[in-house]
Amino acid sequence: MKNILYISPFPHIGGGEMSLLIFLKNIKHQGIQPYLICYSDGPFIQQVKKFGIKNAIFKRNYLFSSIFIVLKIFSYLKKNNIHLVHVNCLDIRAGIAAWLAKVPFVGHLRVVFPFTWRDRLFVLLSKKVIAVSNAVVASFCLRKPSYRDKFAVVPNAIEIPYNLTPAPLKKEFRLPEDAKLVGAVGRIDSWKGYEYFLESAVIIKKQYTDVFFFIIGDVDQRNREGRAYFDMLKRLAAELNLQGRLFLTGFREDILKVIKALDILVVPSIVIKKYRGEVTEGFGRVAIEAMAVGVPVVASNIGGLPEIVEDDVSGILVPPGNSKAIANAVLSILMDKSKATALGEGGRKRVEAFFTIQQNEEKIAKIYLSILEKNNNAKSQWK
């Protein structure tokens, strides 16, 4: 049994945290004893506790907290005889602590964002970085092609739910039994492109009268930009006269059941230009969640999404930031039952072929084993 420490800095539950949760739930089958460190309390670590995983919180709450965290992690590694560290992002504090303790570590790159010198230093010091898509690797290595050998691509995964009962959304929101439900799911961030989903809703409801729309996800209240974006979405919904047709549900723990209740899932992600780069969808976990439960997907043709969705086979890809294209794709599914069925079945088959938790576990366990074997050989040669 190998002791592996997982470090996940963020307290909320987004796609990356959900993927780690599923992984931790199952990883003991691979001969691994998991430990977990977070930098603050929140929904994520509360879920982890349900699995009985040893955990600790090292809070960032004062000027020199980064130094404090490095020292605390260093001590934790020694005390618990940790063999390897897996950081659920590219947190340089965790990387430096592991490097000082001479414990091999890997990172997990899940999103495309403006990479900094800290991220490049993390990759340089690490033994390997697991990337959720080729798009993520291409973005990171755009200016540093020599870093490609540091990466291994392992897509996110899901436990495929069989015989899942849909959430009773129509009853909960007092909607007609014959209503069609179209939803977008994910944390409220500006690069999620929800404004284009709202604009598409106006077009859709003009041609298909019995359709209702959902945005299912929460905003990180500590994120000023996220709060401002959410406020903008609410204003836009009012301007577009979507009252009574649009429901903002916030975070739902029964997310798979909620997705199962939808007729179509839309992933309207876009590319946001930043000073030092771009922010966009590194993978798009919600797409495989919908595909796994047989719900047709309409997704933007950006980031890692084209690596998940085969256009017109397991979903429909549309140009990012194009409300009309989203509307046309949704309407084509609503108005063609056989097409909806085919896309749902195609999505399920693709998840079964490429995105199961068993495949994910085995690939990552092989990465661990390769690193630990090399590390042990290096120690033996040094002796």
User: Could you tell me the pTM of the whole model?
Assistant: 0.91
Q: Is the pLDDT of residue 124 over 90?
A: yes
Mean pLDDT along residues 4-8 = 96
Mean pLDDT along residues 278-283 = 92
- Name which CATH class applies to 2-157+356-382: alpha beta
Q: Is the pLDDT of residue 370 over 50?
A: yes
Does residue 106 contact residue 126 with C-beta atoms inside 8 Å? Answer: yes
The pLDDT of residue 10: 85
Residue 184 neighbours by CB under 8 Å, 6+ apart: 192, 194, 197, 214, 215, 216, 217, 265, 266, 267, 268
Q: Is the pLDDT of residue 380 over 60?
A: no
Provide Rg for the chain, Cα atoms.
21
Q: What is the DSSP string of 24-86?
A: HHHGGGGTEEEEEEESS-SHHHHHHHTTT-EEEE----STTHHHHHHHHHHHHHHHTT--EEE
Mean pLDDT along residues 289-294 = 96
Mean pLDDT along residues 60-88 = 89
* Mean model confidence pLDDT for the chain: 92
C-alpha span between 214 and 247 (Å, rounded) = 5
C-alpha span between 37 and 106 (Å, rounded) = 15
C-alpha span between 1 and 304 (Å, rounded) = 34
Q: Can you read off the two tokens belonging to residue 148?
A: 């490609």
Confidence of residue 63 (pLDDT cuts 50, 70, 90): low
The pLDDT of residue 383: 40
Residue 154 neighbours by CB under 8 Å, 6+ apart: 130, 131, 132, 360, 363, 364, 367
Q: Is the pLDDT of residue 120 over 90?
A: yes
Percent of the chain with pLDDT over 90: 75
The pLDDT of residue 123: 96
229-255 pLDDT, tens per residue?
999 999 999 999 999 999 999 888 899
If one compares 295 and 51, the residue with the highest pLDDT of the two is: 295
The pLDDT of residue 29: 67
The pLDDT of residue 379: 56
160-196 pLDDT, tens per residue?
888 899 999 999 999 999 999 999 999 899 999 999 9
Q: Where are the domains of the chain?
A: 2-157+356-382, 169-354
Percent of the chain with pLDDT over 70: 96
Q: Tell me whether domains 2-157+356-382 and 169-354 share a fold.
A: yes
Confidence of residue 62 (pLDDT cuts 50, 70, 90): low
Q: Is the pLDDT of residue 200 over 80?
A: yes
CATH architecture, range 169-354: 3-Layer(aba) Sandwich (3.40)
